[in-house]
Amino acid sequence: MNADGPDPLPSGRQRGSEDLSIRPALAIPSSEFRRAGHALIEAIADHLDTLSSRPVTLAEPPHRIRALIGGDDPLPERGTDPTDLLLESARILFEHSLFNGHPRYFGYITSSPAHIGILAEALAAAVNSNVGSYTLAPVATEIEAQTIRWVAELIGYPTDCGGLLVSGGNMANLVGFITARTARTTGDVPAAGLVGSGCPALRVYCSRETHTWIQKAADVTGLGTESIRWIPTDASLRMDASQLRSAMLADQQAGDLPLLVVGTAGSVSTGAIDPLYEIADVCREFGAWFHVDGAYGGFAAALRAEYPDLGALGLADSVAVDPHKWLYAPLEAGCALVRNRDLLHDAFSYHPPYYHFGEEATNYVDYGLQNSRGFRTLKVWLGLRHAGRDGYARRIEEDIALATRLAQRLRENGEFEVITCSLSIVTFRYVPEDARERLHDEQTRAYLDRLNESLLDDVQRSGEAFVSNAVIAGRYALRACIVNFNTRAADVDALPGIVAQRGRVIHTALRREEAG
Ligand SMILES: Cc1ncc(COP(=O)(O)O)c(C=O)c1O
């Protein structure tokens, strides 16, 4: 009994007739917590041990998955034993998910999850720090600050920059975009808006290969997607810097403001790296903000000698990188860096009366869009400590070497046309023998597009391997991307055979369809 009346009842219990079979909701007794945790870790370890012998995906339709999880059941009235729940969930997840950590997953740019990151997620949840303010998260805040410095150091960016962890590349790029909008416009755009502030029409520039985050950013910041100037690329799909200059000059002469240029360090489709030094020069000439989308390739700057253009990351006003790509952090972890930390702060800092956080420490609520913030930094920080700079550099190098090996194997196979190979992305097409002599006629091109699109679908559903696609100069291509510490040479060597065998079957079926 407390002074104000009876103790509140734990939910699920009835006073008087204490029904102990109904547990107080949510709190799990210590001995049971340990049992559930140990059992879960065993299940996860078994999953990791056996992953390579299982299909990448079962490619099951939604109704099958809904049936498995009881997707049409109503909300349960009463709870269930936590160990049973966890093990049942683990079984369903491990038997029916698509695994981007599978050695033969060559799909989109999501990495195999670092083992230490898997454990870090549980540790972070146990502390449950709210990394919006130092007061609420003293250790986590300093860990985030150190992570920002280390990420900057790894890619050759000034370590006194501002920055923060976000959910992924889209959000990291958006942080750079918003900071540029506030920092480089005259008038008070955050308060008055684009029209009210009287600023000229704002223009942003990026290559045609830029990821779709740019449209979302232009849209939500009020610039509109029509403010984007899509700069053509050269034969290697790198932005043509002279065309960039011409476009900026034309806008400036028309009275518009060239606000921001996006250089991409590793494009989403082919891994192309824009000529970042040249772009930096053009930005300087026009006083434009230089942002680099390094969501995919930024961490290859750890291998600076091989990719001299990535040295220019250090010149950017802001950079986005994605620890959940080439630092192998489990989803989600993106990271925004801004050279001038004050500009980042100015773009996001408001001081509501209901917070008492103090100014002498870093309060991440003042550096980004989120208010309450999880401790996603922990998995990145532990990954950096576990692998070290050298560990990451060697692993990234290995992924790139595997991609180069894949391109070689595809060429040796003779049934493929390799279109690009850059960083750890290879794009290629299956080309049946009877099409090889007529690669450039329109009918053959259209047929190869159709064939490769069907082939992509077939390979993805096979569970033997998983590739994605790209459209390059109007041609439909298959795309293999390796950001995966589980992939071995044997997996790469197997891919051409898997795809070619399926390609032959689909080609025969399509030709038969056409004939009949
Ligand atoms: C170059 C590039 N930018 C941005 C993104 C978006 O990153 P995220 O999916 O983490 O939001 C990607 C994703 O692949 C990318 O490759």
Ligand 1 atom nearest 322 alpha carbon? 10
Locate 299 and state its tokens. 């961490």
Locate 399 and state its tokens. 């992924």
375 lines ligand 1 (CB under 6 A): no
Tally of CB atoms within 10 A around 428: 27
169 lines ligand 1 (CB under 6 A): yes
Residue nearest to atom 4 of ligand 1 (CA): 169
Distance 335 CA to ligand 1 centre (A): 11
Residues in CB range of 392: below 8 A, 6 or more apart: 154, 299, 302, 326, 327, 384
Ligand 1 atom nearest 294 alpha carbon? 1
DSSP states along 202-223? EEEEEETT--THHHHHHHHTTS
Nearest one of 132, 160, 140 to 341, comparing CA atoms:
160
Q: pLDDT over 90 for what percent of the chain?
A: 89
Locate 40 and state its tokens. 């879960």
Ligand 1 atom nearest 332 alpha carbon? 10
Distance 10 CA to ligand 1 centre (A): 45
Most distant CA pair in the chain, distance: 91
Ligand 1 atom nearest 325 alpha carbon? 10
Distance 250 CA to ligand 1 centre (A): 30
Distance 192 CA to ligand 1 centre (A): 31
With bands split at pLDDT 50, 70 and 90, how would you rate the model's confidence at 25? confident
Distance 408 CA to ligand 1 centre (A): 27
Tally of CB atoms within 10 A around 19: 10
Q: Report the range of poorest mean pLDDT among 76-80, 230-234, 361-365, 493-497.
A: 76-80
Ligand 1 atom nearest 265 alpha carbon? 1
pLDDT reported for residue 24: 60
Distance 296 CA to ligand 1 centre (A): 6
Tens of pLDDT along 130-166? 999 999 999 999 999 999 999 999 999 999 999 999 9
The per-residue pLDDT of the chain, averaged, comes to 94
Residue nearest to atom 7 of ligand 1 (CA): 169
Q: What is the pTM of this model?
A: 0.94
Tens of pLDDT along 335-383? 999 999 999 999 999 988 888 888 789 999 999 999 999 999 999 999 9
d(CA 173, CA 261): 12
Distance 170 CA to ligand 1 centre (A): 6
263 lines ligand 1 (CB under 6 A): no
Ligand 1 atom nearest 109 alpha carbon? 14
Query: Is the C-alpha dihedral spanning 135, 136, 142, 145 positive or negative?
Result: negative
d(CA 143, CA 137): 10
CA 384 to chain centre: 18
268 lines ligand 1 (CB under 6 A): yes
Does the structure show a pLDDT above 50 at 10? no
Within 13 Å of residue 486, how many CA atoms lie on the same side as its CB? 22
Residue nearest to atom 16 of ligand 1 (CA): 268
Beta-bridge partners for 33: none
34-42: long-range contacts at Cβ-Cβ below 8 A with a sequence spacing of 24 or more? 35/83, 36/82, 36/83, 36/86, 39/83, 39/86, 39/87, 40/86, 40/87, 40/90
Within 13 Å of residue 490, how many CA atoms lie on the same side as its CB? 3
170 lines ligand 1 (CB under 6 A): yes
Does the structure show a pLDDT above 80 at 23? no
Residue 166: enclosing H or E segment and its boundaries?
strand 162-166
Phi-psi region of 470 (alpha: psi -120 to 50; beta: other; left: phi over 0): beta
Residue nearest to atom 15 of ligand 1 (CA): 268
Does the structure show a pLDDT above 80 at 228? yes
With bands split at pLDDT 50, 70 and 90, how would you rate the model's confidence at 14? very low
Q: What are phi and psi of 360, to 5 degrees?
A: -80, -20
pLDDT reported for residue 123: 98
pLDDT reported for residue 8: 39
pLDDT reported for residue 316: 98
Does the structure show a pLDDT above 90 at 187? no
Tally of CB atoms within 10 A around 203: 23
293 lines ligand 1 (CB under 6 A): yes
Distance 108 CA to ligand 1 centre (A): 9
Does the structure show a pLDDT above 60 at 11? no
Distance 166 CA to ligand 1 centre (A): 12
Tens of pLDDT along 69-118? 999 999 999 999 999 999 999 999 999 999 999 999 999 999 999 999 99
* Radius of gyration, alpha carbons of the chain: 26
Strand, helix or coil for residue 150: helix
pLDDT reported for residue 439: 79
